[in-house]
Chain A
Amino acid sequence: MRRVIIDPVTRIEGHAKISIFVDEAGQVVDARFHVTEFRGFEAFCRGRPFPEMPGLTARVCGICPVSHLLCSAKAGDGILGVRPPPTAVVLRRLMNLAQLIQSHALSFFHLSSPDFLLGFDSDPASRNLFGMIRANPELARAGIRLRQFGQRIIEHLGGRKVHPSWAVPGGVRSGLTPEAAADIREQLPEAQATTLIGIDLIKSYMDRHPEDIAVFGQFPSLYLGLVRPEDHGWEHHDGVLRIVDSSGAVIADDINPVDYSRHIGEAVEADSYLKSPFYKPLGYPAGMYRVGPLARLNICTGIGTEAADRELREFRQRAGGIANSAFLYHYARLIEILAAIEFIPRHLDDPQLTADRLRAEAGVNQLDAVGCSEAPRGTLFHDYSVDPHGLITRVNLIIATGQNNLAMNRTIAQIARHYIREVRTSVAIPEGFLNRVEHGIRCYDPCLSCSTHALGQMPLVVRFLGPDGEVIAEVRR
């Protein structure tokens, strides 16, 4: 058994390696994704006052700090035992939509589009944002400005673009000025136009390369995410959890996110600091599920805005119902940007937007609380326990990216087996093939600084693999 290692995996948001296992006959047997970063948030947050958690856990991740900020503030709402004032809810939702825009724009335009526009096999020295700026400056500028639009809304609300300590237990610190609201409105048409350019781009790419859809992570799995309680429509911040299978059948519905641990377990493997959550009733690893844009579009009854719903219909038509290919994450991401751009003016028109009351005040009323929100990459859970003084005694973070870990492993194995037919010591594997394997990871837009501080609070499965990768023993608790 030989092992080909890609180190580091690039144009993803984190530190990782990939192993491709090859047998004596030169055939690819398996591929594994290794997350090599560890930071230990769940350990060092213990003993800290819970109101500090939103600002501190934002530092889990510079790409989606807002996700952690909002999710942590929601857990804080639970500890206080309050509902934030309606204005705070609208403002938090607005910031989450802005975050979705900037993060999805980054994934598509800054990180993944060089593969589509410059080519998987193009020169690796220029296959990046700077190469895009030179090859297609207008598109690069449009992508940069779309991400800037999302970041600017975050700055209008929170005072800074990265790590705003703005959401707090019980609400938010500050409101939105009329000037800022006007500024946001003014930029909406350009943002929408850029998104539509992106959508045309990915659709015409898919028309020309149907094999990419078939090879980049096309397999059945479960899908999990939040939906609106009233109509099971697309949701990004509040709502209930729903799980559907690869045929679209709903297998669990209307789950209160507070009860997540009854449905989700976590497993650890020796070769990655990233844990692998799974759907408990099906066990590990059969309970593989996917989260994020692909899952959110698969589980919802509809989005609830005109242009995004039109695009959702085409998405489902192209996928033949439920989208089971990870390549469609790119398309799903752009549809979600469109949805966000359509929802933003509704929030700006909301009469509650400018009310004075921004924060509910209370002391510690509950010792355990769970916050849940949709991060750009998928469903995020912050689960805290505090002592009567409000000092943290236990933290569990279920991070979006971890939930895609099993599917990411399967995706890269599928791509490696397809493109790398025979590995011989005398012939190097073409760089473009390895880049395709990496792109399998880029489809999921993983955020690995987020994903690597799991502290097992939940049932654990450990697999011991032999030198040839066979399972020697499996231990469950």
Chain B
Amino acid sequence: MAAVKLATVWLGGCSGCHMSFLDMDEWLIELASRADLVYSPIADVKEFPPGVDICLVEGAVANEDNRHLARVLRERSRVVIAFGDCAVTGNVTALRNPLGVALEVLQLAYLRPHEEHARIPDDRTVVPVLLDRVMPLHAVVPVDYYLPGCPPPAERIRQLLSDLLDGRRPEQTADRISFG
């Protein structure tokens, strides 16, 4: 059987979900025998490749780069998983939403009342435009499975990946769908 093409993506979040992924520890060695990691922040491929079987997406959609990548990964992946509470609900990444639109938030962060010459980072060649509202993944592209938790415990990630690798339909029992 050909190795499954696995991708992991990190949008607007803290990488805690990726750390929990690494907390699968020695099961990663078994995973490496069944799957190729074709795109990930811990790998060096710069373009999201076509023909991905399973894609774990950590983080909320917070800027234009995130939104673009979300659309690309959806188009090129068979199964897309909202990986962790930020991808599922927006969570901590979305806590900036009540403060106002992007410009207002950036003003709060980079400009203070008496600094007329202070600046907001705006070199658009490299610095992505913030979206006015941080969104969960499913607000931008359709999602196949939800894997909640802040972060999802390693065992929960392992169960879902095992189910998908073995061709089982993942169960959404209570112990697998808690937040926080």
- Total residue contacts A-B, CB cutoff 8 A: 193
Number of residues in B with C-beta < 8 Å to the partner?
Answer: 59
Within 8 A of B (CB), among A420-477: 435, 449, 453-457, 460, 462, 464, 475, 477
Contact of B125 among A3, A129, A134, A455 (CB under 8 A): A3
CB of B103 to closest CB in A, whole Å: 12
Contacts of B154 in A (CB 8 A): 161
Q: Which of A31-39, A182-190, A252-260, A298-306 contacts B (4 or more CB under 8 A)?
A: A31-39
Taking a contact as CB atoms under 8 Å apart, the answer to whether B44 and A162 are in contact is: no
Closest to A68 in B: B14
Which listed residue, A39, A42, A128, touches B37 by the CB 8 Å rule?
A: A128
From A34, A37, A59, A268, give the contact of B126 (CB < 8 A).
Answer: A34
Cα distance A105–B126 in the bound complex, in angstroms: 31
Contact A43–B109 (Cβ < 8 Å): yes
Assembled-state Cα–Cα distance A7/B125 (Å): 11
Q: Could you tell me if B16 and A17 are in contact, using CB atoms closer than 8 angstroms?
A: no
A62, B45: Cβ atoms closer than 8 Å: no
How many residues belonging to A are interface residues under a CB distance threshold of 8 Å? 70
Q: A34-B126, A38-B109, A59-B150 are in contact. Are A10 and B99 (CB under 8 A)?
A: no
The 8 Å CB contact of A13, one of B15, B106, B109, is B15
Closest to B152 in A: A162
Residues of A contacting B98 in the complex (Cβ-Cβ under 8 angstroms): 44
Instruction: Give Cα A275 to B52, complex, Å.
Output: 36
Whether A11 touches B42, Cβ cut-off 8 Å, given contacts A62-B19, A133-B32, A163-B151, is yes
Q: Which positions in B face A, CB cutoff 8 Å?
A: 10, 12-20, 22-23, 25-26, 28-29, 32, 36-38, 40-46, 62-63, 65, 92-93, 95-96, 98-99, 105-106, 108-110, 112, 114-115, 117-119, 121-123, 125-128, 130, 150-151, 153-154
A residues contacting B by CB (< 8 A) are: 3, 5-8, 10-15, 17, 19, 34, 36-40, 42-44, 56, 59-63, 65, 106, 110-111, 124-125, 127-130, 133-134, 137, 140-141, 144-145, 147-148, 151, 160-163, 268-273, 435, 449, 453-457, 460, 462, 464, 475, 477
Ranked 4 nearest A-B pairs via Cβ: A62-B16, A271-B123, A128-B43, A475-B117
